[in-house]
């Protein structure tokens, strides 16, 4: 029963009438508390409560010029941070794609291409030429450069955190 009384009191307090309202708090002989528009019959004690309606305004209070400028700076900083995050995220994505492509090219480049094998006249002894090893070094260097680009992009992203 106390829950119903509390809910009723909250509803009464939340009512937004144009004028103040009087609410009666009646304490019954058994200790129950009853709220209403008038005193309850048989109440041991009655109290009156005046409820003032909340002040509702349509527009927020005007901010000081300093506060408006500070809010503008915060919005600008936020836009700059968002732009920096977008830029570094794109660089990480692009660097990871380049690394993936470099690794695939290195794997595909393991097989020798025509002219990269040296052999004797009857092809009983065949070995890779220096051109093959130079191409393998170049592919490995491309993978290293792509990995360095990924590492730099991730470090830039971590620096923004």
Each residue's pLDDT, cut to its tens digit, for the chain (161 residues) gives 555 665 555 555 555 445 678 888 888 899 888 888 888 888 888 888 887 877 776 666 666 778 888 888 899 999 999 999 999 999 999 999 999 999 999 999 998 888 888 887 676 788 888 999 999 999 999 999 999 999 999 999 999 88
Inside any domain, residue 38? yes
CB count within 10 Å of CB 99 equals 20
Length of the chain, in residues: 161
Domain count, the chain: 2
35 and 93 both lie in a single domain: no
33 and 93 both lie in a single domain: no
Inside any domain, residue 62? no
Place of tokens 């829950």: 3
Phi-psi region of 10 (alpha: psi -120 to 50; beta: other; left: phi over 0): alpha
Inside any domain, residue 76? no
Inside any domain, residue 80? no
For residue 20, give the 3-state DSSP assignment.
Answer: coil
97 and 148 both lie in a single domain: yes
- In the chain the beta strands, taken as DSSP E runs, fall at 21-27, 33-36, 45-51, 117-119, 126-128
d(CA 6, CA 127): 94
Which domain range does residue 46 map to? 2-51
93 and 149 both lie in a single domain: yes
């Amino acid at each position: 029963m106390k829950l119903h009384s509390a809910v009723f009191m909250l509803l009464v307090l939340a009512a937004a009438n144009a004028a103040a309202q009087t609410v009666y708090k009646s304490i019954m002989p058994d200790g129950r508390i009853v709220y209403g528009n008038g005193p309850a019959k048989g109440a041991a004690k009655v109290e009156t409560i005046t409820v003032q309606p909340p002040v509702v305004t349509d527009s927020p209070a005007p901010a000081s010029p300093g506060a408006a400028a500070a809010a503008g700076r915060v919005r600008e900083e936020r836009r700059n941070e968002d732009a920096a995050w977008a830029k570094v995220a794109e660089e990480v994505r692009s660097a990871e794609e380049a690394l993936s492509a470099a690794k695939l090219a290195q794997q595909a480049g393991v097989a020798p291409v025509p002219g990269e094998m040296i052999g004797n006249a009857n092809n009983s002894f065949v070995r890779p030429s220096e051109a093959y090893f130079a191409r393998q070094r170049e592919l490995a260097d491309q993978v290293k450069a792509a990995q360095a680009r990924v590492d730099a992009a991730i470090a830039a992203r971590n620096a923004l955190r």
